[in-house]
Amino acid sequence: MLACNRAIIARMESPVPLIPQLGAHLVAAGGKRLRPLLTLASARLCGYQPGPDHQRHVGLAACVEFIHTATLLHDDVVDESTLRRGLASANAVFGNKASVLVGDFLFARSFQLMTADGSLKVMAILSDASATIAEGEVLQMVVQNDLTTPVERYLEVIHGKTAALFAAACRVGAVVAERPEAEEEALERFGTNLGMAFQLVDDALDYAADQQVLGKTVGDDMREGKITLPVLAAYEAGSPEDRIFWERVIGEGEQTEDDLPHALNLIAKTGAINTTIARAQVYADAAVEALSIFPDSELRRLLIETVQFTVNRAR
C-alpha cells in the first residue's frame, strides 16, 4: 500500500500545478483505499510474487484508485456535495469547473497507467468497468426522486456505481498473477458481491450513522432525493400517511428541517435498516463463498474479515 500511495502521488504530477494541488487535497482527505487494496490482495491471493521488476499490481492498484477518484470528483459536482470524508469536498474548495476537469485528467491518467501495464485483458476489464460506472451514475440520476423505482433497478444502479469497480479491481489482480480463468471469475464474483454489500451498508448508514463516525452528514441521500433501499423499504412498508410524507420529501424534494428526524423515525419503525442490512448480508455471504476455491491462508482470512467488517459497521 505504501508503494501504491507513492505511485498515486507520483502519477498525480502535471506541469499544470492546480492538478497536483487538487490531488493533494484528495490524498490528504484520506479515504479507505479499499479498491486498490483489493487489487493488491487479489494479486497476492493468486500467488503473484512482487519484486523489483514485478510491480504490475501496484501500478494497477493506483489506476483503480484514479478511476475511483475521478468518479468521486464528478459525483460531488453532480450531487452538489460540500463534504467528502468529513472534509470540505474538492468542488467546495476549488470549484465545480476544476473538479470536472481534474476528474477528466485522472480518468485519462488511469488509461495511461493501463497502457503502461500493457495487458489488453486488463484494459478490457477496466474500460468495461468505466463504462458501466458511468451508466450506473446516469441511471441513478434518471431514477432520482422516483419512489416507484423497482428494487431491481436500484440494485442495477449500485452494481454500476460501486460493484463494477470492486469486481474489476479484484479481477485484474488475478490477471497479473496469470491465473486460470476460474480464479479470475471467483475474484470478480467476490468483488461484485462485496461491492453490493458495501453500497447497501453505505446507504443504510446514511439514515443511521453518527456523523462523526461516517465522516459525512446523515440524510445526504434524502436531501438529494436519492432512491436507496432504506427509503424504498420504508415507503413499501409505510402507512398511507407515511407514503404522503415520502412523496413530498423524496418524490417532490420539498423538505423542511423537521423532515429528517421524522424520516429516521419512519425508517426505524418499518425496520428498513434491517431489511437493507439483511440484503447486504446475503451479498456478503456470496462474497465469502466466492473465496472458497482458494486454500485457507492468512490473506484469505483477512479478506473474509473485510467482508464481515463491511456489514458489521452498520450494526
Q: What residues make contact with its own copies under the rule CB under 8 A? A: 14-16, 18-19, 70-71, 74, 77-78, 96-98, 100-102, 104-105, 107-109, 111-112, 114-115, 118, 120, 123-124, 127-128, 130-131, 133-135, 137-139, 141-142
C-alpha grid cell for residue 273? 435498516
Residue 83: other Cβ atoms inside 10 A: 16
* Assigned C-alpha cell, 184: 479470475
Q: Least distance to its own copies from the beta carbon of 186, Å? A: 23
- The smaller minimum CB distance to its own copies, of residues 56 and 201, is found at 56
Would you say 62 or 264 has its CB closer to its own copies? 62
For residues 27, 66, 159, 47, the Cα torsion angle rounded to the nearest 10 degrees is -100
Looking at residue 15, the DSSP 8-state letter turns out to be S
Shorter beta-carbon distance to its own copies: residue 19 or 303:
19
- For residue 239, the minimal CB distance to its own copies (Å) is 33
- Beta carbons within 8 Å of 72's beta carbon, 6+ residues apart: 26, 84
CB of 140 to its own copies, least distance (A): 9
CB 236, min distance to its own copies, A: 24
- Closer CB to its own copies, residue 127 or residue 274? 127
Q: Which is nearer to its own copies, 10 or 108 (CB)?
A: 108
DSSP state of 308: H
Question: Please, which residue, 157 or 174, has the CB nearer to its own copies?
Answer: 157
* Rounded CA separation 164/128 (Å): 9
Spatial distance between the Cα atoms of 83 and 93, rounded to a whole number of angstroms: 10
**Which residue has 423524496 as its cell numbers?**
250
Least distance CB 240 / its own copies (angstroms): 32
Cα separation, 9 vs 21, in Å, equals: 11
Min dist CB 68 to its own copies, Å, is: 13
B/e letters for 126-162, b = 16+ CB within 10 Å, e = fewer, are: beebbebbbbbbebbeebbeebebeeebbbbbbbbbb
